[in-house]
Amino acid sequence: MNDQLILAVDKNGRFTGHYVSRTAAHAGDGIRHLALTLFLFNRRGELLLQRRRHRVFDNIWDNTASTHQHHTDEGRDETDAEAAARCLRREWGIGPVALTDHGGFNYFARCGELCENEHCRVMTGQHDGPIRMDPEIAYEYRWLEKPAFRRELEQQPEQYSPWCRAAARLLAEQGVL
């Protein structure tokens, strides 16, 4: 696991003033930290999904992209927009996308000795151009219509990452999904 420094946060998602390595943040019960998850739709309203390669939750379906806001080598903290742009460029080869912030949620999920203990910000956007999936990040991808996505989440929730399920609930409450 990359030992990039990420931001420790309180139960309200506010930075505590402490940084934590990704390894420490995901070990045992973890340390609550800031994360970001993205849902990209095309003009037909289909959602871009990936079957993610992931150290903790591997080989399950996930929303478009996810990352952490980093404490950079220059000594500053990435904004949500900067982290989102970095993530979309890395995972999909996608340039700038206008994104809407939908707030965030806390979640905890364990997998063996590792866990996710995050305050996760949720953003959505639209992309209709080419994509280039990074095979180090995902096994495969697909575009899925919103009703089919909601059905799959309801009928087979275990096939999706825990943060995808929680973010989808938030977006459904807001009328996005």
| pLDDT one-digit tens code per residue, 5-25 | 999 999 999 999 999 999 899
Enumerate the β-bridge partners of residue 126: 41
Kindly report the pTM of this predicted structure. 0.92
Helices (H) and strands (E) in the chain, counts: 4, 9
Query: How many angstroms separate the CA atoms of 118 and 31, rounded?
Result: 8
* Domain range list for the chain: 5-173
Q: 1-26 b/e with 16+ CB inside 10 Å = b?
A: eeebbbbbbeeebebeeebbbbebbb
In this structure, are residues 33 and 8 in contact, taking their beta carbons and an 8 Å threshold? yes
Residues 84-121 have pLDDT tens digits of 999 999 999 998 899 999 999 999 988 888 888 999 99
CATH number for 5-173: choose from 3.30.1330.60, 3.40.50.300, 3.40.30.10, 3.90.79.10. 3.90.79.10
